[in-house]
């Protein structure tokens, strides 16, 4: 039995060898060491990590295997991402789960041989500066995207705010995936004959000034799935003071400062990533050809108290779920 397993491992190793890099996997191991690099403490990212850990552990247990997690957190600071990822590489982990774009980018820079699965990432082609083929990166990176359809988001936002003509888009200038979303949302708003203006925040020191500028000029605000805005969503809420309707790209930001969102389930996204990790670790999938996965069922949600305060009516019978805000 052991000889056949060793042969299988050799076959899989050869199958994952490219022209210039070799993806290191060992489908024979009884216990795997998986490194988790999370960008910062936030409910959405926490949910994705928890879903990942629970699902992978369960699948490996059914296969008679075990897993140990080495969890690191960059505390919402981009420079820390390289530090925590390099620490995982030095420990020779079997796989890195990189939670959020800055961690995926740092992991991709740190290693070309350890398989990397991202989650809570919007667009992998933008994050890694690669061209996707059949939905895969062709590198040692794959994972799950937290992008809910942007055209649908714009359709929902504008239907709930029929009188709004000027939309401000608030995002962090340092996040490539946010810039991608901004351009797409601007395109869809412009096609509707609506004005869209970018408000790029470079750091916490510019947050209040940027928000105040948007508050004075715009009818409504859109915030994409932006890590900086997610981490600082309460400060954004304070800066706007409930005076403007804010449509968010995900539930966590919406709960802190928004009135409505089209959001994915981050725990489920983590579970999907866990399933992918299981397939990669056991040699069932070549990560270079493993297509990026999505949550197939985004959900429309709203905060009742803020809608009431802003005079926004949520239509009945259209599948909206209420976000409970304490």
Q: How confident is the model at residue 21, as a pLDDT?
A: 63
The hierarchical CATH code for the domain 2-146+266-294 is: 3.40.50.2300
pLDDT of residue 10 exceeding 50: no
Position 2 confidence tier, pLDDT thresholds 50, 70, 90: very low
The pLDDT of residue 93 is above 70: yes
pLDDT in tens, 20-70: 468 999 999 999 999 999 999 988 899 999 999 999 999 999 999 999 999
User: Could you tell me the pLDDT band of residue 326, with boundaries at 50, 70 and 90?
Assistant: confident
Report the pLDDT value the prediction gives residue 176, as an integer from 0 to 100: 87
Domain ranges for the chain, please list them.
2-146+266-294, 150-263+299-322
Q: Across the chain, what does the average pLDDT equal?
A: 92
pLDDT at 43: 87
pLDDT of 17 > 50? The answer is no
The closest of 58, 78, 317 to 177, measured between CA atoms, is 78
| Percent of the chain predicted with pLDDT > 70 | 94
Common-topology check for domains 2-146+266-294 and 150-263+299-322: yes
The string of pLDDT tens digits covering residues 189-242 is: 999 999 999 999 999 999 999 999 999 999 999 999 998 999 999 999 999 999
Convert the chain into a string of H (helix), E (strand) and C (coil): CHHHHHHHHHHHHHHCECCCCECCCCCCCCEEEEEEEECCCCHHHHHHHHHHHHHHHHHHHHCCCEEEEEEEECCCCHHHHHHHHHHHHHCCCCEEEEECHHHHHHHHHHCCCCCEEEEEECCHHHHHCCCCECCECCCCEEEEECCCCHHHHHHHHHHHCCCCCEEEEEEECCCHHHHHHHHHHHHHHHHCCCEEEEEEECCHHHHHHHHHHHHHHCCEEEECCCHHHHHCHHHHHHHHCCCCCEEECCHHHHHHHCCEEEECCHHHHHHHHHHHHHHHHCCCCCHHHCCCEECCCCEEEECHHHHHHHCCCCCCCCCCEECCCC
Summarize the confidence of residues 270-280 as an average pLDDT: 98
Among the four given CATH numbers 3.20.20.70, 3.30.420.40, 3.40.50.2300, 3.40.640.10, the one describing domain 150-263+299-322: 3.40.50.2300
Quick one: pLDDT at residue 5?
39
pLDDT given for residue 211 in this prediction: 98
pTM confidence score: 0.82
Whole-number pLDDT of residue 42: 86
Mean pLDDT, residues 281-286: 97
């Amino acid at each position: 039995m052991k000889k056949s397993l060793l042969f299988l491992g050799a076959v899989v190793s050869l199958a994952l060898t490219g022209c210039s890099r070799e993806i290191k996997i060992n489908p024979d191991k009884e216990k795997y060491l998986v490194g988790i690099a999370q960008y910062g403490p936030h409910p959405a990212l926490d949910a994705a990590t928890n879903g990942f850990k629970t699902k992978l552990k369960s699948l490996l247990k059914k296969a008679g295997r075990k897993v140990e997690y080495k969890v690191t957190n960059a505390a919402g600071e981009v420079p820390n991402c390289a530090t925590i990822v390099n620490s995982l590489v030095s420990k020779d982990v079997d796989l890195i789960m990189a939670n959020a774009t800055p961690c995926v980018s740092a992991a991709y820079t740190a290693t070309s041989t350890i398989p990397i699965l991202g989650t809570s990432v919007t667009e992998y082609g933008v994050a890694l500066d690669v061209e996707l083929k059949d939905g895969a990166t062709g590198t040692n990176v794959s994972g799950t995207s937290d992008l809910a359809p942007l055209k649908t988001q714009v359709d929902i936002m504008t239907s709930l705010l029929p009188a709004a003509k000027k939309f401000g888009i608030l995002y962090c200038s340092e996040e490539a995936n946010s810039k991608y979303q901004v351009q797409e949302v601007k395109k869809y708003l412009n096609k509707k004959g609506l004005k869209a203006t970018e408000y790029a925040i470079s750091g916490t020191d510019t947050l209040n000034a940027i928000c105040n500028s948007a508050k004075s000029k715009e009818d409504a605000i859109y915030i994409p799935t932006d890590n900086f805005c997610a981490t600082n969503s309460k400060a954004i809420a304070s800066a706007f003071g409930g005076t403007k309707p804010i449509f968010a790209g995900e539930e966590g930001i919406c709960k802190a400062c928004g009135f409505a969102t089209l959001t994915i389930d981050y725990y489920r996204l983590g579970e999907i990533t866990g399933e992918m990790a299981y397939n990669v670790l056991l040699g069932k999938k070549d990560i270079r050809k493993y297509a990026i996965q999505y949550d197939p069922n985004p959900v429309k949600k709203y905060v009742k108290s803020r809608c009431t305060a802003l005079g926004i009516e949520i239509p009945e019978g259209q599948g909206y779920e209420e976000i409970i805000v304490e």
